[in-house]
Amino acid sequence: MTYKTIDPSEYPLQFAEKAKHLQQLLSPYYKGELELHESPRTHYRMRAEFRVWHEQNDLYYIMFNPETREKIRMDEFVPGSGLINTLMKAVRDYVIDKPILRNKLFQVDFLTTTTNEAVISCLYHKQLDAEWEESAKQMHETLSPITDKLGLIGRARKQKHVIGTDEVVECLNIGNRHWKTVQTENAFTQPNAEINKQMITWAINSVGTPKHDLLELYCGNGNFTLPLSTQFEHVLATEISKRSVASAQVATEMNGINNVEFVRMSSEEFSEALKGDVEKRRLQNIDLTSYDFGTVLVDPPRAGLDALTLNVVSQYQRILYISCNPDTLIQNINDLSDKFTVTKAALFDQFPYTHHIEAGVLLERKTG
């Protein structure tokens, strides 16, 4: 929950610096053109979280300056979607004179979509009782006309009260199709919807339409899985989060996809099973020998790929690697450089006005 005041006029220079930095990091392995994908300069974040500050009769949101830790009052949030900004004000104005909802409220999180759906999570330093729930239901009823679908969640220690829903359905227009994904409160989702569309489009264009199967590790809620499924014969996708796998399976049905199987396993567990080192109960109904994997897609956490997973992905012809940490990306590319060449590379500015870099690379096996 840190925030540094943004100046949209500075964005071109900041983006150029990111591009230069990534190009330099990749230069030992890639001499081609780096595809550049700029973010919208304002209202690009579809989710945000704020601390709540109580000051006598006043109540307002704050974030902290990442350098000084000074608190910054947030009456609006320029990076946030228009819906986040509307709901920020609506929630604050509603709870400020209602002690049951206001007392011990210390954080509010917002998850929104381009389809005008939202989930609001209110976090408390107190246990939530029936009186709180009744007041929250009234709040939900009052705020619901703002959105097409609204969920309101109360969280306290070992408590989660859901009013309405705890998930939203995002719909992104990619190519000539509208792709639906299920996004759940407190689960990972791509925060920048426009950049997410560009990432998926780049991935589709990069892989083409090969006559083989796709293996995907760290698939999350199926964000890449479902649009890419049309490019491959079959897809096997793994993810450790039970809730994300459930969301992915629901979205698969929503989109009418029938060539994807999901496995709830970590990449490390799956790598062990793929090598035949261990038997895994969650794979008992899947015949791995029936797949003809030629491409593997990885979108790992900031730590990058572990040694075991690196060894497994190196068995395939192509590796499509989406990275949120260029340092570990470069380490992994270096580890693979004896066998693979980087043939495509892109910068996706998922987090404008920060030092964070989202990158995509396609590695193809060397010949000869």
DSSP string, 279-290: --GGGTT--GGG
Out of 22-31, 132-141, 272-281, 358-367, least confident range? 272-281
Within-domain flag for 179: no
C-alpha span between 78 and 76 (Å, rounded): 6
Within-domain flag for 3: no
> Of how many residues is the chain composed?
368
Look at residue 284 and tell me whether its pLDDT is greater than 80.
no
Would you state the pLDDT for residue 157?
97
Would you state the pLDDT for residue 280?
67
Please name every residue paired with 173 in a beta bridge, in sequence order, or none if there are none.
178
Check the annotation: does 239 bind a ligand.
yes
Within-domain flag for 19: yes
DSSP single-letter state for residue 33: P
What is the mean predicted confidence (pLDDT) over 6-12?
95
Check the annotation: does 33 bind a ligand.
no
Within-domain flag for 220: yes
What is the mean predicted confidence (pLDDT) over 65-74?
89
The active-site residue, picked from 167, 216, 272, 358, is 358
Indicate if 324 belongs to the active site.
yes
Residue 136 sits in the same domain as residue 276: no
Residue 289 sits in the same domain as residue 350: yes
Reported as a pLDDT band with limits 50, 70 and 90, residue 67 is confident
Residue 36 sits in the same domain as residue 51: no
Check the annotation: does 97 bind a ligand.
no
Within-domain flag for 13: yes
Give me the CATH number covering residue 97.
2.40.50.1070
Indicate if 38 belongs to the active site.
no
Check the annotation: does 331 bind a ligand.
no
Within-domain flag for 304: yes
What is the mean predicted confidence (pLDDT) over 203-227?
96
Four-point Cα dihedral 195, 196, 199, 204, nearest 10: -140
Residue 36 sits in the same domain as residue 54: no
C-alpha span between 165 and 168 (Å, rounded): 8
Query: Starting at the edge strand that comes first in sequence, how are the strands of the sheet with 235-238 ordered?
Result: 35-37, 340-348, 358-365, 318-323, 293-298, 213-217, 235-238, 260-263
Contacts of 191 (CB under 8 A, 6+ apart): 45, 46, 47, 350, 351
Look at residue 278 and tell me whether its pLDDT is greater than 80.
no
| Count of the separate structural domains present in the chain | 2
Within-domain flag for 186: no
Contacts of 262 (CB under 8 A, 6+ apart): 219, 222, 225, 237, 238, 239, 245, 248, 249, 252
Give me the CATH number covering residue 16.
3.40.50.150
The active-site residue, picked from 170, 269, 324, 364, is 324
Last residue within a domain, chosen from 121, 152, 168: 168
Residue 28 sits in the same domain as residue 95: no
Q: pLDDT (tens digit, 9 = 90+) per residue, 311-354?
A: 989 999 999 999 999 999 999 999 999 999 999 999 999 999 99
Residue 77 sits in the same domain as residue 156: yes
Within-domain flag for 125: yes
Question: Phi first, then psi: what are they for 94, rounded to 5°?
Answer: -75, -45
Last residue within a domain, chosen from 136, 168, 200: 168
Kindly report the number of other CB atoms within 10 A of residue 53's CB atom.
14
What angle (nearest 5°) sits at the alpha carbon of residue 262, between those of residues 171 and 311?
A: 115
Residue 130 sits in the same domain as residue 259: no
Give the residue ranges of DSSP H helices in the chain: 11-26, 82-95, 99-102, 130-143, 193-207, 225-228, 242-254, 267-274, 307-313, 326-336
Would you state the pLDDT for residue 348?
98
Q: Provide the residue range defining the domain that includes 243.
A: 8-41+192-365
Contacts of 161 (CB under 8 A, 6+ apart): 128, 132, 133, 136, 153, 154, 155
Residue 124 sits in the same domain as residue 215: no
Check the annotation: does 277 bind a ligand.
no
What SS3 class is residue 192? strand
Reported as a pLDDT band with limits 50, 70 and 90, residue 276 is low
Residue 219 sits in the same domain as residue 284: yes
Residue 201 sits in the same domain as residue 56: no
Residue 228 sits in the same domain as residue 114: no
C-alpha span between 170 and 180 (Å, rounded): 6
Residue 300 sits in the same domain as residue 198: yes
Q: pLDDT (tens digit, 9 = 90+) per residue, 133-170?
A: 999 999 999 999 999 999 999 999 999 999 999 999 99
Last residue within a domain, chosen from 111, 135, 168: 168
161 and 136 Cβ atoms separated by less than 8 Å: yes
